[in-house]
């Protein structure tokens, strides 16, 4: 058995992620995080006070396609994964599960939760949605089983261009929000608060939920 390292986030390929140990804990945390992510997106939509930036695009597309918004999320995730090819990004298990489960959880949430009429409840939905999304992000990233399709697009683009991750993220989100708004997506105070709060909240929560991986001895040339 290897010893446990306290390195916050490891830079591992897809196969290495699966061999890094603690799979029951990491897989459970990944699944909880992805489901919570979809639920938090649903609460933001039901609040009517603004959507997550990428959801502005998803919602706008759903208005023009014979698909639910959750189905649009799934399709868009796999389209984004195609953009990984020129960036030479390799998806992990978490990447594929991210592409599927979040959209399913979103549709389930929207089917179970109706839009409230009381302003106080709408505000509560928005706040819980933002906080829940930050927690969900820390959970699935902390599982260290691969980035989500959109996260990988940002990091891959940043690596290939040399642009800062902040600049890449801002550029992408400005584009998707603008296109989504033109298609009928909903902008609001929730969109602005999400954009301001999600980074600091995730940064604060991530160390709490990053699963330390097992440090394995390097394979010697003689044993290859």
**pLDDT tens sequence across 51-103:** 889 999 999 999 999 999 999 999 999 999 998 888 888 888 989 999 999 99
The verdict on residue 81 lying in a domain is yes
Burial class for 37, CB neighbours closer than 10 Å (0-12, 13-18, 19+)? buried
The verdict on residue 198 lying in a domain is yes
The verdict on residue 180 lying in a domain is yes
| HSE-up of residue 177 (Cα within 13 Å, Cβ side) | 17
For residue 65, what are the domain limits? 21-211
User: Is 180:63 a contact under the CB 8 Å cutoff?
Assistant: no
Beta bridge partners of 3: 215
| Backbone dihedral angles phi then psi of residue 106, each to the nearest 5 degrees | -65, -50
- The number of helices, as runs of H, and strands, as runs of E, in the chain is 10, 2
Pairing label, strands 214-215, 3-4? antiparallel
The verdict on residue 11 lying in a domain is no
Tokens of 144: 């260290």
Question: In the prediction, which pLDDT does 183 show?
Answer: 93
The verdict on residue 6 lying in a domain is no
Question: In the prediction, which pLDDT does 76 show?
Answer: 94
| Structure-token match 């992805």, residue found | 34
The verdict on residue 220 lying in a domain is no
The verdict on residue 137 lying in a domain is yes
Quick one: which H or E segment has residue 215? Answer: strand 214-215
How many domains are there within the chain?
1
The parts of the chain modelled with pLDDT lower than 70 are: 1-8, 215-224
Cα-Cα end-to-end distance for the chain:
20
The verdict on residue 14 lying in a domain is no
Question: In the prediction, which pLDDT does 23 show?
Answer: 86
pTM for the full model?
A: 0.86
Residue 211 per-residue DSSP state: P
């Amino acid at each position: 058995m290897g010893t446990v390292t306290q390195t916050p986030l490891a830079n591992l390929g897809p196969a290495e992620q699966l061999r890094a140990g603690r799979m029951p804990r990491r897989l459970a945390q990944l699944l909880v995080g992805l489901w919570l992510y979809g639920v938090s997106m649903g609460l933001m939509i039901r609040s009517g006070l603004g959507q997550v930036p990428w959801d502005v695009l998803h919602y706008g597309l759903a208005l023009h396609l014979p698909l639910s918004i959750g189905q649009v999320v799934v399709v868009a995730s796999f389209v984004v994964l195609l953009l990984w090819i020129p960036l030479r990004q390799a998806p992990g298990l978490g990447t594929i599960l991210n592409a599927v489960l979040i959209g399913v959880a979103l549709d389930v949430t929207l089917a179970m939760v109706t839009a409230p009429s009381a302003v106080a409840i709408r505000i509560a939905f928005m706040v819980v949605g933002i906080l829940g999304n930050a927690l969900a992000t820390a959970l699935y990233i902390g599982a260290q089983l691969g980035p989500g399709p959109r996260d990988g697009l940002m990091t891959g683009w940043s690596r290939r261009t040399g642009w800062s991750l902040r600049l890449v993220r801002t550029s992408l989100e400005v584009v998707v929000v603008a296109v989504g708004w033109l298609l009928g997506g909903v902008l609001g105070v929730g969109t602005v608060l999400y954009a301001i709060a999600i980074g600091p909240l995730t940064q604060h929560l991530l160390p709490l939920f990053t699963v330390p991986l097992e440090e394995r001895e390097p394979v010697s040339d003689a044993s290859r």
